[in-house]
Structure 1
Amino acid sequence: MSMTRLKLCSLAMAIVSMVSITSASQAYQLSPKGSAREIRLERLNVSYFANGQILLYRYNIGHFVDPVHEEITSRIWGCETVDCDNLDRSDAPAAVVAGVRWNDDPRFPLTAAQAKGTKCNIGESIRVATQPICWAQLFKRAEHGAAAGKAYGPGDPLLFRTHFGDLQFLHAMAAHPGESASETQRKMMDWAQFSWRVSSGEFNLETPLRDIPIPTIHERFGMTGWRVLDLLTLGNSGIRPHLREVSFGTLLHMLQDSYAAGHVEREESSGLRTCRSGDYQATAPGTIVEFHAYNSQDHKAHARADSREALLKQIEQEGDLVEVGRTLRKYYDSRASWEVVEPYLQCVFAVRDPSRPASSGDAFSLAGP
């Protein structure tokens, strides 16, 4: 067997071994495979070797991870057929889907010190679809560090922070056990404001994050020197003309995760209340009882709650996320101001007890229910 064949086989085996990692980390499961349209956008500015990794990765992992986030987004764009989970027939724009993926798999830079002991190419931005082996190694490192009690924040790789650190509000989750519901809600509303104002054109690619007067953005990114470009479109010039759609997609992801049982405990909706502001309204979802903390959870139990089966059960309930998402899209399509949208999202993300501390959730405790 040639060295090239040996390397390819080793690479394929390494990629397949990542499935157990990624499936446990998704918030509602998200397929890293991507649609044909998105793949064309993602493969811009990527090296020949990296393209080989991408193709092998997508070939292997596409058989294992349900594209639940993509299906929800397609349904928000009106899909009513049995194949709403078909990535290549998505009704939603490719750039919106790319934004929905961003929360789970943001592109990020890595220093030489952070890359030590990995297969990472620090000359190119990193995400699971462009450097899958590197991504898997970093994810395992972050997982082990979090299990040992490490708190990730500014200065750490973005991947560490979104899944195990201070940016877990991007998944409608608390940063750590004990965080109050009001604190998690505050950060979520700050991100909603940021993403909405980017999608409305108020902030553009060149806007420095340190100049954005939103506390959570300043607290988490104010010392980086990053622009909006560096946070949402790093290393991908093909997606930049579609910044509005990408930014809206990141908000949709957070909304979708706020319905996932592994992330949030909600009351059952009565169907009698509505969330409304301006010209639009939707049946209100159940009030949030508790935000969960991923670091203290049984990750396999978490993954089961993020399955397509769980999604299909959820959208049969009152105030389901597709109805709420379609209404949010109406505000987006009409270019409503943040001042109009804010009361609607305050209702969608309403909490029963602002002081309620985050926990793993009874059904997701490492000790078992």
Structure 2
Amino acid sequence: MKSTPTISLILITIAFPLHAYELGKKSVENLNKPSFSTDSLLGLEWQRNHERLTAMSLQCLADANRNNASLENKPTDCSYLDSSNMDFEIFKQQDSKSEIQKYFQLLRTVRWPDDPTRQIYLSDKSSAKFAVTVKEICSGRIEDDIDNKIVLPRDGILCTSHYGSLQFLHAMAEKDGEEHRVTQELMETWSRFAFDLSKGTIDLTDNYHKFWIKNDAYQPLVQVMQADKIKEWGWHKDRDIPAYLYIFNWDLFDDPDGTFNAWTLGSLFSMECDAATQSSTCGQIEDENEIRLSALGSIIHMIQDSYSNSHTNRSTFGAKPTISCSPITQFYSYTNQSSDTHSESDKWPDFECGDNPITLDPVTAAAQVIWLHNNPTSRGEDVQDIIKKVISHPGIARSSGSGTSYKKI
């Protein structure tokens, strides 16, 4: 049985664009002794910012429970951590029974919104394919579509995350002119869905189409998850592998009577398309813990991206990478942004939250999400409440746009 295909690609060039805080060109190799050094190739550099921010949250959570056998204490302020010269104690003095270690996997799974098909995950052999997809293929698909839309089953999760209906995973609106409340509501509802899935209260084997068309608990997400398109393309059920795919995928001859599996909720978080030049067929990881922590990582990623100046307006000006703990007054959309200027703000930021922050800073917010995951029965605590403290609606907010500092010239 083969997993659902994504999109077929040909290797063209090499680049590494991302519409989020930067991450390494592949994930952290050693989770017990992670390196957060900058990756470089041919004069290009990629900082491991999502990984580093996540490690800071893990350290803060561990510090809050320094004298405890469990992670029962909720971190309330991680601003004491020196982001410019972090010395991560959690990776130096490890206790095999420590609860914090089970969350080290987040150093990898926090990448999921940027790399939902694991093309630059444990190997960088498909990094060129990944870059071409994000830089050229996805935008081309938008131009070719009659409605200028990304279609999930046709264009893949990667394009849908960066250019389509799942852009809220990066704290961005899908298009210019979208009402503030739309993106805010999607972020809040996603946090509940992904958190529930990460905790195991949602079955990974649930049929994707049936789950979303019958969904009431996460209603704002129904349209953006494109269940109607999944059915239109026949992905809601098992189906025969088209004959033409055998030409490009020799491994299919090992299973000539094989089928593509119907999409499940687990399919969304388990894709692995790490072939060097094409993604017409993809494998699926089988580690349930990694799949569920990918859902948890998506919440942390969304929190972190919401503090990038090229993703949201928190009353800061210019493209300098800074973290301000002010409410989001506008969600940006990528459509009319300059990719070069956008990326300037996704470098390692200066923390400028001050002594009286209005919102939770990204390190504290993510630490609280992980704490809640470990203490799900804590009374009066809800992951959506944490997201609300991250966004902190200012009362008056503008509809989405490119942002003055990032608009294409």
Do Structure 1 and Structure 2 share a fold, with TM-score over 0.5? yes
* Same amino acid, percent of matched pairs: 23
Instruction: State the 1:221 CA deviation.
Output: 4.1
2:137 to 141, 146, 164: 141
Determine whether 1:324 maps to 2:365: yes
How many angstroms does 1:188 deviate by?
Answer: 1.1
Structure 2 CA distance for aligned equivalents of residues 208 and 233 of structure 1: 14
Matched position secondary structure for 1:64: strand
Are 1:231 and 2:230 an aligned pair? no
**What is the CA deviation profile of residues 76-121 of structure 1, one whole-angstrom value per residue up to 9, with x for unaligned ones?**
01175766599x96987442122210100111xxxxxxxxxxxxxx
Q: Is the 8 Å Cα contact of residues 285 and 320 (structure 1) preserved in structure 2?
A: yes
Consecutive unaligned residues of structure 2, counting only runs of 5 or more, are 1-10, 32-38, 61-80, 93-99, 231-235, 237-262, 272-282, 317-323
Please give the per-residue CA displacement for 1:319-364, whole angstroms capped at 9, x wherever unaligned: 4211222222222221247973323322322333576210101111
Q: Supply the distance in 2 between the matched residues of 1:185 and 1:267 (Cα, whole angstroms).
A: 17
**Is the 8 Å Cα contact of residues 207 and 227 (structure 1) preserved in structure 2?**
yes
Spell out, residue by residue over 1:292-322, the C-alpha distance to the aligned partner (whole angstroms, 9 max, x if none).
01111011111111101xx233466734211
| Larger CA Rg, structure 1 vs 2 | 2
| Aligned equivalent of 1:65 | 46
Match of 1:204 in 2: 203
Counterparts of 1:339 and 1:330, CA distance in 2? 10
> Which one of the candidate residues 130, 149, 152 is aligned to 1:151?
149
Query: Retained in 1: the 8 A contact 2:330–2:397?
Result: no
2:65 counterpart residue number: none
- Structure whose residues are more often helix by fraction: 1
- Measure the CA separation in 2 of the matches of 1:131 and 1:216: 34
Structure 1 counterpart of 2:8: none
Counting only pairs closer than 5 Å after superposition, residues 1-369 of structure 1 correspond to structure 2 as: 18-19=14-15, 21-22=16-17, 25-37=18-30, 60=41, 64-78=45-59, 80=81, 84=86, 93-107=103-117, 129=124, 131-139=126-134, 140-146=136-142, 150-155=148-153, 156-210=155-209, 211-212=211-212, 213=215, 214-219=218-223, 220-223=225-228, 224=230, 225=236, 226-234=263-271, 235-237=283-285, 239-267=287-315, 285-308=325-348, 311-314=349-352, 318=357, 319-336=360-377, 340-353=382-395, 356-367=398-409
> RCO greater where, 1 or 2, for CA within 8 Å and sep 6 or more?
2
TM-score, length-scaled by structure 1:
0.70
Letter of the structure 1 residue corresponding to residue 150 of structure 2: Y
Q: How far, CA to CA, are the matches of 1:290 and 1:134 in structure 2? A: 33
Asked whether the equivalents of residues 181 and 354 of structure 1 are also in contact (C-alpha less than 8 Å), the reply is no
Q: Deviations over 1:255-294 (max 9, x none)?
A: 10111110001147xxxxxxxxxxxxxxx94211000011
How far does the alpha carbon of each residue in 1:229-273 deviate from its partner, in whole angstroms, 9 at most, with x for none? 2000123435423333222111000010111110001147xxxxx
- Gaps of at least 5 residues in structure 1 are 1-13, 39-57, 108-124, 269-283
Relative distance call for 1:37 and 1:216 in structure 2 (3 A) is: farther
Report the TM-score when normalising by structure 2. Answer: 0.63
Give SS of 1:342's match: helix
- In the comparison of the two structures, how many residue pairs are matched? 297
